[in-house]
A and B are shown apart, each in its own frame.
Chain A
Amino acid sequence: MSETAGNTTGENATGANTTAANTTGASTTGANTTGAKTSGETAFSMTGGKVTLDRRPILRGVDLTIRPGEVVAVMGTNGSGKSTLVRALLGLIPLSGGQTLLYGRPPARFRDWWRIGYVPQRLQVGGGVPATVREVVASGRIARQRRLRRTSAADRAAVADALEAVDLTARAGDPVQHLSGGQQQRVLIARALAGEPDTYVMDEPTAGVDAETQRLLADTLATLVLQGRTIVLVAHELGPLEPLITRGVVVRDGLITHDGAPPRPEGECARPGHEHVHPHAPDEPGASEILGRGAGAGPLNWQGEA
C-alpha cells in the first residue's frame, strides 16, 4: 500500500503537479484544461497488478498509469489479458496482488462513478425480458440519478443526444434483442455517452462490427477526444480509430510488453512526416493543440453537469 498514486504520478507528471487536482472532472470541457498537463491527477493507476482467475494467472504484475486526457489503446492477442486489464482498472475484477486506483482511490472507495463510461464487450440481453433501446441507453444515466428522484429533463436530453450520436433514434422503441451485433454495439456506446462521463473504458468496441459502425465509432471518439475526454480502449486492431490514439499499450501473457507510441501500420501513416499529427504522448508539446483538445463543445453537447 506504500506505492500510492502520488508515487506513480510523481515520476510521470512533468513537474506540473503543483496545480490542485481537478476533482470535479466535469470541467474538462473548459477552455484550456488538457488535464494531463496541468494536474498531477491520474485517471487510472495500477501498480504491480495481479489477477488470478481459477488459479490461472491472467495478469502477472502490471504497472500502468493513465492520466486525464490520454487516449490509450490496450492491444494484444486473444487471451493476453488485455480485457482483464481494463476491467481490473475499474475494479470489476478483484486483484490478487498489487493495487489499482481510480482517480486516486481504490475502486471500492471510489464514489464519482458518473465519471466512468464503461462499454463492455457485448450487450447482455437478460433472460429474455425485452428492453427497448431507449431503456438500455437511459440506464447509462444511473450513476447520475438518485433513488426516488424522477427522470429529469436533463436525463431525457442526454439520452436523446446519445441516441442521435449513434444514429439509433429511429430504433429507440425497438427491443435491443432485435438489433444486429453492430447496432447492439452502438447501443452500448450510446449508454456510455448518455451518462456524460469524462472517462471512457471500452472493451473491444470495434470487434466484429460492420464498417458503418466502425466509422460511426471513430467519429464519436473523435468528438470525445476533442473534448479532452480520457479514453482507454481495448482493441485487436485499431482500424479507423488509429489516428485518435495517443498511446499504445501492448499486453502479452499478462505483462505489458510495450507502452508508448501506438503501433503504426505500414503505408501512408508510416511516413516519418506523418508523426506530428499523431503525438506519441500527451506530454509532448503541441499534442493538445494539434488534436484540438478543449476546443469547446463538439456537435454534441457533452458538458458535464454543473
Chain B
Amino acid sequence: MIELLQAPFFQLALVAALLVGLCAPAVGTFIVQRRLSLLGDGIGHVALTGVALGFLTDTEPVLTAVVVSVAGAVTIELVRARGRTSGDVALALLFYGGIAGGVMLMGIAPGGGTAKLNSYLFGAIASVTTEDIWVIGALAVAVVAVVVIFGRELFVLCQDEEMARASGLPVRFLSLVIAITAALTVVIAMRVVGLLLVSALMVIPVATSQQLTRGFRATMALAMTIGVVVAVGGLLASTLSSRVPPGAAIVLLALAGFVLALGVGRFVRRGRVREPGIHGDPTTTPVREAA
C-alpha cells in the first residue's frame, strides 16, 4: 500500500479522484434540483464524439472533449428552453448521434480502436497523465468558481425558473452557465469513472445526501464530502486486485452509500417528533377552505 501511494501514477490518480469527487456532486446538486439528473448522461454521450475527434485529429482528447461536450450542452439547453414536446426526441437523437459518431470516428482514427474506446467509456484512472491533471485541475477550478460566483442565483433558477425571471435574473445566461459547467464536469470525470458512469458521480452523492439533510447548502456540502469519500475509496478498493475496475468500484461504493443513507434517513426522520409524516404537521389545523 505504501509503495503504491508513492507511485507517481497512483498519486495522479488520487488527485484526479479527489477533484472529481469534489466537483461532480457540487454541480450535481443544482442539476438534480433542476430535475435534469440525466443531463450528465446526455453530455457524456456527446463527449464521446469529442474524444474520438481528438484521436482523429491527433490532438489531446480531453481538449476536444471539452469543446464538443460544451457545444453539446449548449445545444441541449437551447432545446430544453424551447420546452416543446419534440425537444425530448431531439435530445434523444443528439445522444445517439454522439455515441454512434464517437464509435465511428474512433474506429477510423489512426490511434483509436476498441481498447482506447473502453478506457473513455469506463474510465482509466490509472493512466491519467500529468497533462491530464493540469486540464482536470483547471476545469475543477472553473467549476468551483461558478458555484461560488453564481451559487445564489443558480439556487433560485434551479428551484423555480419563473421565480428567477420575476427576480430579474439573467435566466438564459444562467441556464447556459449550468449546462456548460455540467459539460466541464463530465470531461473531468471522464477519465476517472468513464463517460457512461459520469452522471453517477453527479447524481448519487446528491441523492444520498438529501436523505440526511434538511437544507440546500447542507445537501451540497455533504454530497461533496460523500463524492470525495467514494471516489478515493473506490480507487483504493481497486488496488486490492488488478481485476477490480476503479470506475465501477467508485460507482458501486456510491450506490452502497445511498442504500445505507436510505435506511439511516428513515431512522432519523422517524426520530423527529415534529414530523410524523412527510406532509403532516400537528402544529397547524388542517382546515381547508373549499376552493
Contact = CB atoms under 8 A, between A and B. Distances in A.
B167 A130 contact: no
Contact of A180 (B162, B219, B279): B279
Nearest to A178: B275
B284 A126 contact: no
A201 B164 CA distance: 14
A129 B281 contact: no
B279 A178 contact: yes
A236 B291 contact: yes
Interface string B3-37: 00000000000000000000000000100111111
A128 B162 contact: no
Interface in B257-287: 274-275, 278-281, 284-287
Given A129-B33, A130-B215, A183 B163 contact: no
B210 A113 contact: no
Contacts of A130: 210, 213-216, 218-219
B149 interface: yes
Interface in B212-233: 213-219
A90 B181 CA distance: 29
Of the listed residues B29, B213, B214, B291, the one surrounded by the most CB atoms of chain A closer than 10 A to its CB is B214
A258 interface: no
Of the listed residues B34, B162, B206, the one surrounded by the most CB atoms of chain A closer than 10 A to its CB is B162
Contacts of A177: 278
Given A129-B210, A129-B216, A145 B168 contact: no
A123 to B, nearest CB: 8
B286 A143 contact: no
Contacts of B287: 210-212
A92 interface: yes
Mostly helix, strand, loop or mixed at chain A's interface?
A: loop
A175 B281 CA distance: 12
A178 B281 CA distance: 8
Contacts of A1: none
A116 B166 contact: yes
Given A116-B166, A131-B216, A148-B149, A124 B286 contact: no
Contacts of A113: 166-168
Interface string A108-134: 001101101010100111111111101
Contact of A120 (B33, B149, B152, B163): B163
A147 interface: yes
B281 A183 contact: yes
B291 A132 contact: no
Interface string B48-69: 0000000000000000000000
9 contacts: A111-B168, A126-B159, A128-B32, A130-B210, A142-B153, A180-B280, A201-B166, A210-B285, A211-B287
Interface of B: 29, 32-37, 149-150, 152-153, 155-156, 158-160, 162-169, 206-207, 210, 213-219, 274-275, 278-281, 284-289, 291
